[in-house]
A and B are shown apart, each in its own frame.
Chain A
Amino acid sequence: MPLEISGLVKRYGRGADAREVVRGLDLKLQRGECFALLGPNGAGKTTTLRCALGLTEASAGRIRLCGLPVPGQAREARARVGVVPQMDSLDPDFTCAENLIVFAGYFGIHEREIRPRVPELLAFAGLEGKETARIQSLSGGMKRRLTLARALVNRPELLVLDEPTTGLDPQARHLIWERLRRLTAEGTTILLTTHFMDEAERLAHRLAILDTGRILAQGSPREVIAAHIEPQVVEVFGDWTEAESAGGSGAAAWAAAHAGALSRRCEISGETAFCYTDDAAPLLAHLARQPGLRTLHRPANLEDVFLKLTGRELRD
């Protein structure tokens, strides 16, 4: 099994100041699957990855990475893992090709062995012909792709990516997604963290939603949506006033007056009402008679589950 975590606890500080960042987390990755860890900032995603790689010691729990115990044999286990960290850590003193060759050296891979693979690795990252390009001349998206190529120098069984597409433009995101799909098709297991729901929905075979150090939901994207949320969503926004309404106007006032009867559950966020329902027809028929209100009817998605489970408050 590429990664097996049970009862993981990570605590910072001691005594009264102790703060639990990960609180009893269990995770099992199947070979060849893409698994996404979803969670708001501070949910414990990066800490979980750091524990799994043996870069910080867990306070409690059991970790096996590529079948080896962590932290006991973390060094040996990491030889079979590739990592794309959140922050750019490419070596600015080297060219693109040198970055790959020097990094392979950290795995004990000789230059003779890696140099013939450099063009293929760069091509995989969409960086054909960039062998001698300096890191400073690369765009953000190119740097992230080179980091992906760098994570593949040791032909890893497990590829770990911490927010791989944060800060990238749509073109770069789509290229990275396509490459990650190709890797899982070839049998590489992938573990990624993200707070982009569409990324998780498109890429992940299975996912876990994490908040305040605990897993709140786990399964395939479809399973998680089916288990945690009504299938249809109607977003309501715009102007609304009604003679008999107690006061106020807009979607919130409309929701207070009617949403309870017409939907299973309704959440207000700012000036928008999110109505969750199994059958949207009666609600839509009612809304058609409210000229000031505008609506958006769509199937429920992962983001709805995420917001339901982790709340709508900002996380900083």
Chain B
Amino acid sequence: MPRSEAPPPPATAHFAPPRLSLRLVAVWRRNFLVWKKLALPSIVGNLADPVIYMLGLGYGLGLLVPEVEGVSYIAFLAGGTLAYSTMNAATFEALYSGFSRMHVQKTWEAIMNAPIALDDIVAAELVWAASKSCLAGVAILAVIAAFGFTASPLALAAIPVVFLTGLCFAALGLIMTALAPSYDFFMYYFTLFITPMTLLSGVFFPQGQLPDSVQTIAAALPLSHAVSLIRPLLLGQVPAHIGLHLGVLALITVLAFWLALGLTRRRLLK
């Protein structure tokens, strides 16, 4: 038997707090350099879908619904569109692209042979997915402004909120990536979480239209907090309960990142 019997590291060691270094910038930069090669198609890809929905629903349904909460339906829809398209962009990046780099291309394994720890890689993926969703969000905001659906300088304050929204959904998405056996797994996340949340979070209609019992749950969803901040800013209003909404998004980001990191360590540091 081997000498120096030490107890095996406890399973909880995987969930120790993150230890980050500035080397994560190099990992973020790697993803940015890849994105830069295909920046235009990437932006158009992130832009086309939400803009088509916004214009289609906004003008189409807008004929039937002349006004929502005191503004035109399309102006109401603009804020919701920016919020949910940010969610989608961050989610797709953390899920599909993250999984490709972690599992298929073994990019993370290659990086771990350099003086970069897994903690740095997962954190870089988090910030990168938020950055990419923010780049897409800024493009959508430009379209919204170009169509005249927002005219307030307060709309610029939506950009940091978009980044935080991206961080929040990237962190949630990285949990799924850490658990996924294959790409097919992500389908559950979309049909069971992302899609219902999009419908319940006040993107397309005010949450007041929901039954009372559903309203309580809906108000707690992360996307609801993002919509509650972004929509008023685009309409030139200061959002109510700013601290609460920002706090919830930040708290979800931190807790989800911690969980995602723990699960990823358990998966890769065997």
Interface residues, chain A, CB within 8 Å of chain B?
Answer: 7, 9, 11-12, 14, 18, 23-24, 53, 55-57, 59-62, 75-76, 78-79, 81, 83, 85, 87-94, 98, 102-103, 105-108, 150-151, 154
B27–chain A nearest beta-carbon distance, Å: 7
A14–chain B nearest beta-carbon distance, Å: 6
Given contacts A23-B2, A93-B34, A102-B30, contact A87 B115 (CB under 8 A): no
Q: Find out whether the CB atom of B4 lies under 8 angstroms from the CB atom of A61.
A: yes
A150–chain B nearest beta-carbon distance, Å: 8
Of residues A14, A60, A61, A106, which shows the largest number of chain B Cβ atoms within 10 Å of its Cβ? A106
Which of B63-71, B105-113, B143-151 contacts the other chain? B105-113
Nearest to B269 among chain A residues (CB) is A56
Q: Find out whether the CB atom of A89 lies under 8 angstroms from the CB atom of B110.
A: yes
B268–chain A nearest beta-carbon distance, Å: 8
Nearest to B21 among chain A residues (CB) is A75
Q: Find out whether the CB atom of A24 lies under 8 angstroms from the CB atom of B113.
A: no
Nearest to B107 among chain A residues (CB) is A91
Q: Find out whether the CB atom of A89 lies under 8 angstroms from the CB atom of B109.
A: yes
Nearest to A91 among chain B residues (CB) is B107
Q: Find out whether the CB atom of B4 lies under 8 angstroms from the CB atom of A11.
A: no
Please name all residues of chain A whose beta carbon is closer than 8 Å to the beta carbon of B3 when the two chains form the complex: 7, 24
| B192 CB-CB contact with A under 8 Å | no
Interface residues, chain B, CB within 8 Å of chain A?
Answer: 1-6, 8-9, 13, 21, 23, 26-27, 29-30, 33-34, 37, 105-107, 109-117, 269-270
Given contacts A87-B109, A91-B107, contact A7 B117 (CB under 8 A): no
Subset of 12 A-B contacts with CB under 8 Å: A53-B113, A59-B8, A60-B5, A76-B115, A79-B114, A89-B107, A89-B109, A91-B105, A98-B33, A106-B26, A106-B114, A108-B23
Q: Which of A7, A18, A88, A91 contacts B30 (CB 8 A)?
A: A91
Given contacts A57-B13, A85-B109, contact A9 B30 (CB under 8 A): no
Nearest to A93 among chain B residues (CB) is B34
Q: Which of A9, A14, A62, A103 contacts B114 (CB 8 A)?
A: A103
Q: Find out whether the CB atom of A78 lies under 8 angstroms from the CB atom of B113.
A: yes
B16–chain A nearest beta-carbon distance, Å: 11
Q: Find out whether the CB atom of B105 lies under 8 angstroms from the CB atom of A24.
A: no
Nearest to A213 among chain B residues (CB) is B2
Q: Find out whether the CB atom of A106 lies under 8 angstroms from the CB atom of B6.
A: no
Nearest to A81 among chain B residues (CB) is B113
Given contacts A85-B109, A89-B109, A91-B105, contact A60 B2 (CB under 8 A): yes
Please name all residues of chain A whose beta carbon is closer than 8 Å to the beta carbon of B112 when the two chains form the complex: 55
CA distance A103 to B26 in the complex (A): 9
A5–chain B nearest beta-carbon distance, Å: 12
CA distance A171 to B115 in the complex (A): 33
Additional A-B contact list (19), CB under 8 Å, known A76-B115, A87-B109, A107-B115: A18-B8, A23-B2, A53-B113, A56-B269, A60-B5, A75-B115, A75-B117, A81-B113, A85-B109, A85-B113, A89-B109, A89-B110, A91-B105, A91-B107, A98-B33, A102-B29, A102-B30, A108-B115, A151-B113
Q: Find out whether the CB atom of B4 lies under 8 angstroms from the CB atom of A7.
A: yes
A163–chain B nearest beta-carbon distance, Å: 15
Nearest to B9 among chain A residues (CB) is A57
Q: Find out whether the CB atom of B26 lies under 8 angstroms from the CB atom of A105.
A: yes
Q: Which of A56, A59, A79, A150 contacts B270 (CB 8 A)?
A: A56
Q: Which of A56, A59, A106 contacts B115 (CB 8 A)?
A: A106
Please name all residues of chain A whose beta carbon is closer than 8 Å to the beta carbon of B23 when the two chains form the complex: 106, 108
